[in-house]
């Protein structure tokens, strides 16, 4: 079975590096999001002199199609650091090697990110291993908390606390708002909005991605939570049309009290906005608890790859304390929970909150994730935008009902 994101591979010419590495080396691709940590990791691995990883960095928006084309044309790299959400689709298409035996032999198997492992599994077999990680978290502006008479060291732990704190900050006026989210960005909202649903006992999929649950009570409550803040004027009007361009910048500007974001924001804020005083918390459920979207990459091996020994050696290095520390120092959270604190030692302590988020992190499972969630015209993005900014309940009802039907139709069509 080939999903829609892979169909172009049948009609386009193959491009890119192929699996032509020598016996003690292997070819490796990574999306440009990993251009900070992967070259440093590869350099340290190659410096040991036993094996060699031949790295190619591919623009983030081109990697999925480029790999699909290369795999169909017999010129795929030996291995790939792949956005974890696409692992089921490529496994279903028969383009990844079954690495179950390798995974089960790892002594730290149970310490690896469970969210990455969940989408690395297809039809009961393992095709992807956790490699790099980014968790969604909640940010709050401590200066605005002080100005509003709130405790700057205590972030919100329930939806009600988010609303109350956001209202107090919005009341400051002067173009200050209590809450922000990118209202027209499907990827942004699955990353930061879905954890609110998970932490409240709900989900957007069931039956291993075969059933859409967009019309569930838990999803509707979360929609109403966001919509209530929009209607109260707590959220700036520009959020409605933000396709993700201001996902990070809005909070960084200093006039937003609370915003869901990603662990990547810690390094970015520290480097680019060193005077911004902010806190990091877990994304809460309605009555408490917490969850997170565990993002990042899975390490996958192409189906026809024979250079397994250097690949195993590279994974062993990447999972070592040295390898996990290199990742942590260059923008990725560790994916081994048992060495996370050691790998993050000496870094901003707020990274430990992100590491904790990984332990409660989840990743939606679907072989048609791109069509359902990431597509700007897909049912997830369209439904949420209509519902968040709807003026009356009838519009919300219609948006959710139509979104549920479209989601299920896309899932059913994929088989």
The domain defined by 4-134+294-362 folds into D-Maltodextrin-Binding Protein; domain 2 (3.40.190)
Helix (H, G, I), strand (E, B) or coil at 177: strand
Residue 287's pLDDT band (boundaries 50, 70, 90)?
very high
Better pLDDT: 272 or 11: 272
- The pLDDT assigned to 290 comes to 98
> Do 136-292+367-413 and 4-134+294-362 have the same topology in CATH?
yes
Read off the DSSP letter of residue 347: S
pLDDT, tens digit, 9 for 90 and up, residues 135-189? 999 999 999 999 999 999 999 999 999 999 999 999 999 999 999 999 999 999 9
DSSP SS3 for 336: strand
Residues listed for the chain = 415
- The token pair at 270 is 């520290």
Tell me what pLDDT residue 234 has. Answer: 97
Cβ-proximal residues to 190 (8 Å cutoff; 6+ apart), any chain: 204, 293, 364, 373, 374, 380
Domain 136-292+367-413's class? alpha beta
Asked if 194 contacts 364 with a C-beta cutoff of 8 angstroms, the reply is yes
Question: Residue 168: CB partners within 8 Å, gap ≥ 6?
Answer: 148, 149, 150, 178
Structure token digits, residue 112: 């690896």
Q: Is residue 130 within 8 Å of residue 112, measured between CB atoms?
A: yes
pTM: 0.86
Q: Which has the closest alpha carbon to 76: 58, 89, 61, 101?
A: 58
Q: Which pLDDT does position 415 carry in this prediction?
A: 78
Strand 128-141 and strand 278-281: the pairing is: antiparallel
Q: Domains of the chain: which residue ranges?
A: 4-134+294-362, 136-292+367-413
User: What pLDDT does 33 receive?
Assistant: 86
pLDDT at 77 over 90: yes
Q: Is the pLDDT of residue 21 over 50?
A: no
pLDDT in tens, 225-239: 999 999 999 999 999
Name 345's Cβ contacts closer than 8 Å, sequence gap at least 6.
Answer: none
Burial class (CB in 10 A: 0-12, 13-18, 19+), 102: middle
């Amino acid at each position: 079975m080939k999903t829609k994101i892979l169909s172009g591979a049948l009609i386009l010419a193959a491009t890119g590096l192929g699996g032509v590495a020598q016996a003690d080396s292997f070819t490796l691709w990574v999306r440009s999001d990993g251009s900070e940590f992967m070259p440093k990791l590869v350099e340290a691995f190659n410096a040991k002199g036993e094996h060699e990883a031949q790295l190619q960095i591919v623009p983030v928006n081109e990697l999925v199609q480029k790999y699909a084309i290369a795999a169909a044309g017999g010129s795929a790299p030996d291995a790939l650091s792949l956005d974890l959400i696409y692992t089921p689709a490529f496994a279903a298409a028969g383009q990844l090697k079954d690495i179950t035996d390798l995974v089960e032999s790892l002594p730290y198997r149970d310490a690896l990110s469970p969210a990455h492992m969940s989408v690395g599994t297809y039809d009961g077999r393992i095709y992807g291993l956790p490699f790099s990680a980014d968790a969604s978290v909640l940010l709050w502006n401590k200066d605005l908390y002080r100005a509003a008479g709130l405790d700057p060291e205590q972030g919100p732990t329930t939806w009600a606390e988010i609303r109350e704190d956001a209202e107090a900050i919005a009341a400051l006026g002067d173009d200050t708002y209590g809450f922000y989210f990118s209202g027209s960005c499907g990827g942004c909202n699955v990353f930061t909005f879905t954890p609110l649903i998970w932490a409240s006992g709900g989900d957007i999929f069931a039956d291993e991605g075969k059933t859409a649950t967009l019309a569930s009570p838990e999803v509707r409550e979360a929609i109403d939570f966001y919509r209530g803040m929009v209607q109260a004027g707590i959220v700036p009007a520009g959020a409605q049309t933000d396709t993700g361009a201001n996902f990070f910048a809005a909070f960084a500007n200093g006039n937003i009290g609370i915003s869901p974001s990603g662990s990547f924001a810690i390094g970015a804020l520290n480097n680019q906005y060193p005077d911004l005083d902010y806190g990091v918390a877990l994304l809460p459920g309605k009555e408490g608890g917490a969850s997170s979207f565990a993002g990042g990459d899975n390490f996958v091996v192409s189906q026809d790859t024979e250079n397994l020994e250097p690949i195993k050696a590279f994974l062993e290095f990447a999972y070592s304390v040295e390898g996990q520390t290199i990742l942590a120092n260059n923008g990725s959270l560790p994916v081994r929970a048992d060495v996370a604190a050691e790998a993050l030692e000496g870094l901003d302590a707020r990274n430990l909150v992100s590491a904790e988020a990984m332990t409660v992190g989840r990743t939606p499972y679907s072989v048609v994730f791109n069509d359902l969630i990431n597509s700007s015209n897909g049912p997830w993005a369209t439904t949420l935008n209509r519902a968040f900014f709807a003026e009356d309940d009838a519009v919300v009802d219609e948006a959710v009902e139509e979104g549920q039907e479209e989601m299920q139709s896309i899932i059913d069509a994929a088989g």
